A and B are shown apart, each in its own frame.
Chain A
Amino acid sequence: MSGDELRRALPPVGETELTRDLWPAMLCRMEERRVRLTWLDGALAAVAMVWLAVFPETIGVLLYQL
């Protein structure tokens, strides 16, 4: 296929300029995705760490399940 045939097969795109700034929307999206640990989840993680510190022999058993 020559260049002319290719150009004829692909019609020109009409409007190529953006109608609005996409960067603020991107910033909002990034802000939405930021992970926030709730206090309850933090407490659960702390309890799990204390549990493993008290029963270190269970670390191997836990790793076996992950």
Chain B
Amino acid sequence: MRQNHPYLRAYMAGITVPTLFLLVVVTGFTMLHGVAAPWERIIMFPMAVVPNLWGVWNMLYCRWRWAPIGVHGAILPLLLVPAGFGLARALEVPWMSVTGAAIALPVAVVVYYLAWKYLVGFFNEVLGVA
């Protein structure tokens, strides 16, 4: 089985972490903004874009392996934060600001580095694409 479809397995390993973490995201948003928040606009990026980008990013890692997986993952926020900011502004998500996105970027890089190194790396090992 491990010889077959390595990119599909890499994709599945990549989407696992943000898909599981979506429960934390929804809980956090609910605590921060309440149940009356515009969920249809808020949840689109974390639910649809982020997991798929993680999967594709892990496929690219398994294709090239140009750096340690933590470093590879730490680059992803440099794409995701501007993309998320742009989509949030387009959808008029209320709390998103340039300042907030700029301040969140460094910590997003650190969080992504750790998540990719320890979590995605673990799932890659489990699925035989490490």
| Contact partners of A33 in chain B: CB under 8 A | 125
Q: Which listed residue (A37, A47, A62, A64) contacts B45, Cβ 8 A?
A: A64
Q: Quick one: given A65-B77, A65-B104, A66-B25, are A59 and B110 in contact (CB under 8 Å)?
A: no
| Contact partners of A65 in chain B: CB under 8 A | 46, 50, 77, 80-81, 84, 104, 108
**CB <8 Å contact, B106 and A61:** no
Chain A contacts with B in 45-66, Cβ cutoff 8 A: 45, 47-48, 51-52, 55, 57-66
Looking at chain B's contact residues, is the secondary structure mostly helix, strand, loop, or mixed?
Answer: helix
**Interface positions of A (Cβ within 8 A of B):** 33, 35, 37, 41, 44-45, 47-48, 51-52, 55, 57-66
**Interface positions of B (Cβ within 8 A of A):** 18, 21, 24-25, 28-29, 32-33, 42, 45-46, 50, 77, 80-81, 84, 88, 93, 95-96, 100-101, 103-104, 106-108, 110-111, 113-114, 117-118, 122, 125
Q: Quick one: given A58-B100, A58-B103, are A64 and B88 in contact (CB under 8 Å)?
A: yes
* Interchain CA distance A33-B122 in the complex, whole Å: 9
Among B21, B100, B118, the one with the most A-chain Cβ atoms within 10 Å of its Cβ is: B100
Q: Quick one: given A35-B122, A51-B106, are A62 and B32 in contact (CB under 8 Å)?
A: no
